[in-house]
Structure 1
Amino acid sequence: MEVVRLRQVSKRYGRREILADVDLQVNAGELVALVGANGSGKSTVLKLMVGLSRPSAGSVQRNAGVVSYVPDVFASHDRLSASAYLRHMGRIRGLSTRTAQARAHELLDRLALSGGADTPMRKLSKGNAQKVALAQALLRQPELLVLDEPWAGLDATAHTTLRELLTETAAQGAAVAFTEHSAQVVRSTATRVCEIEHGRLTALTHQASLTEISMVPGAEIDWSRYPDVVEVRPHEAGVTLMVPTGRHDATLLTALQHGWSVTTVRQVRSE
């Protein structure tokens, strides 16, 4: 189901053209990554999606009741704790105090907010303020979730948690769109990638399929240093690697040469 659609959208500020003839549709269940250089117009597209900006030409249609947005810079509240801020935001969005409090603590626990939920907002680092920003966007299940560089400033553990949260949100029927510079994050999260160059949508591609390789360790290997490995998932029996299909043979060969035992190999995402 189409959740948001930009039809031949252009955006100007005075004589400066930011976007030109952008046509983009995001459907329920999709995770769409917008990539491109700084100043290419990615953030402007996100603001148009959620209604924070209006097109100079063209149209934007949203079929979403609950819309959540995480900006690239989060203006945190000086006087409130993280928990109090999220409880307040939950009430604004129609949740009961108890439900808002429980959901806030659940999200902050998953994101591992340093200092805990009662930490005053003014004392939060940039990375921890970002965790609160992400939590406020997910207090209610959104139908459209839009995030501008949401991984910026997050620690490694929160990187993984955020990817899980976005995947879960899409699986529950939301359309998710985000900007990101890291190719590894894009490959491991997005189901579709849109490239914007000089204000124009120049590429619209589906993600290549990924192959999941589960193995029992042999000689020590730091798989995170291998460029073809998108994700490393340690577990009790060993490790599971996510590798782009078509480039997984080299990973398997490396594993076998170092005495690793391969238990399963399966494709997990189709074109």
Structure 2
Amino acid sequence: MRLDGVGRRYGRRGGVSGTGKGPGGGWVLRGVDLSLSERQLVRVQGDNGSGKSTLLRLLAGIDAPSAGRITGRPPTAYVPERFPAAMPLTVLGYLTRMGRVHGLRRDAAADEARGWLECFGADAYARTPLAELSKGSSQKVAVAQALMARPGLLVLDEAWTGLDLNARAVLDRSVAERVAEGGTVVFVDHDPARLAGAPDVTYRIEGGGLHEVDGRVPPGHGGVPAAGPQVRIEAEGPPGVALPSGLPGSPRTEQTPDGTTVLTAPAPYSDALLRGLLAGHWHIRSVAVEEASR
């Protein structure tokens, strides 16, 4: 997916509602060039009002650019900063309908919806009208509708806000799995520690432009940053069998004297990394999650 010279402005005379405010005389974003690839996790940062949500809405196809063009958008799912929960549907009814929109048969959509509600600890609310949900529960529904689509592009705008600890952990793992399965995830979050060490690249919006501020070694090349919780896996492969390439989380690897391979990666990638090793018939000796040294 590519953005070439993309800009977005609001109001006929510039600015929000024609006030003329904003960078460049009303342009919230201007001249944005961005290329997104498969298996990529992208973080977007910026001050309040800088245009982070505007960029995410453009990526998701919710808004159209005022200038430039966007090409190659894959099937996309979006979690907005504020979920419009005041709809005349129950939780299960809404998620089932969203599953149908994403191409699932009704029974499969309902099963998928129940499965995600259970993952997020919200299955008790399946028959509850959306309008009666708390902020935290409605946020779980918002996230579930995006994840059940298994999209090529997942766009998350403050998606963790309002979630309890268990639900946040589920979303962390789900993001890692989406990337490991070939998807692209772009997210904004107010917590600087969110998915620390996991993003492949971080951009900052400033003055209406998009600037890369932090790079990561491409997947499969190792070099995990020492930030955030890390998973440490000790594994042993079949004789003469090399470590599988392109493992999720771009793990750093080292060999111990007894021939054990030690892999270190951001903790959210633990499940996906273990599955990759097991698929390659590697024996897992131990798994530990620890804070990275600084």
TM category (shorter chain) comes to 0.7 to 0.9
Secondary structure at the counterpart of residue 193 of structure 1: strand
Secondary structure at the counterpart of residue 83 of structure 2: coil
Give the Cα separation in 1 of the matches to 2:131 and 2:7: 38
Give the Cα separation in 2 of the matches to 1:164 and 1:238: 16
Match for residue 102 of structure 1?
Answer: 111
Q: Given the alignment, which residue of 46, 56, 65 partners 1:36?
A: 46
1:81 to partner: Cα distance: 1.8
1:117 to partner: Cα distance: 2.2
Q: Given the alignment, which residue of 224, 249, 252 partners 1:209?
A: 224
Q: Given the alignment, which residue of 180, 184, 187 partners 2:193?
A: 184
Mean alpha-carbon deviation: is it higher for 6-15 or for 94-103? 6-15
Amino-acid identity (%): 35
Greater relative contact order (Cα < 8 A, sep 6+): 1
Contact 2:3 2:34 in 1 (8 A): yes
Q: Given the alignment, which residue of 49, 65, 70 partners 1:60?
A: 70
1:144 paired to 2:153:
yes
Match for residue 205 of structure 2?
Answer: 196
Contact 1:12 1:18 in 2 (8 A): yes
1:203 to partner: Cα distance: 2.5
Once superposed, which parts of structure 1, at least 4 consecutive aligned residues long, lie more than 6 Å away?
A: 230-233
Number of residue pairs matched by the alignment = 224
TM-score (norm 2): 0.69
1:242 to partner: Cα distance: 4.0
Q: Given the alignment, which residue of 151, 166, 182 partners 2:175?
A: 166
1:118 to partner: Cα distance: 2.4
Give the Cα separation in 1 of the matches to 2:40 and 2:287: 31
> What letter is aligned with 2:105?
S
1:17 to partner: Cα distance: 1.4
Match for residue 74 of structure 1?
Answer: 83
Give the Cα separation in 1 of the matches to 2:122 and 2:225: 31
Q: Deviations over 1:205-227 (max 9, x none)?
A: 22472454669xxxxxxxxxxxx
Give the Cα separation in 2 of the matches to 1:69 and 1:145: 6
1:7 paired to 2:4:
yes
1:156 to partner: Cα distance: 1.2
How large is the RMSD of aligned CA atoms in angstroms? 2.5
Match for residue 290 of structure 2?
Answer: 241
The gaps in structure 1 that reach 5 residues or longer are 216-229, 251-271
Secondary structure at the counterpart of residue 109 of structure 1: helix
Secondary structure at the counterpart of residue 39 of structure 2: coil
Give the Cα separation in 1 of the matches to 2:115 and 2:168: 17
Secondary structure at the counterpart of residue 124 of structure 2: coil
Contact 2:117 2:123 in 1 (8 A): no
TM-score (norm 1): 0.75
> What letter is aligned with 1:5?
R
Give the Cα separation in 1 of the matches to 2:112 and 2:68: 38
Give the Cα separation in 2 of the matches to 1:213 and 1:51: 35
1:114 to partner: Cα distance: 6.9
1:130 paired to 2:179:
no
> What letter is aligned with 2:9?
R
Structure with more strand by fraction: 1
Q: Deviations over 1:113-168 (max 9, x none)?
A: 27332232122111110110111112222111111111111111111110111111
> What letter is aligned with 2:224?
S
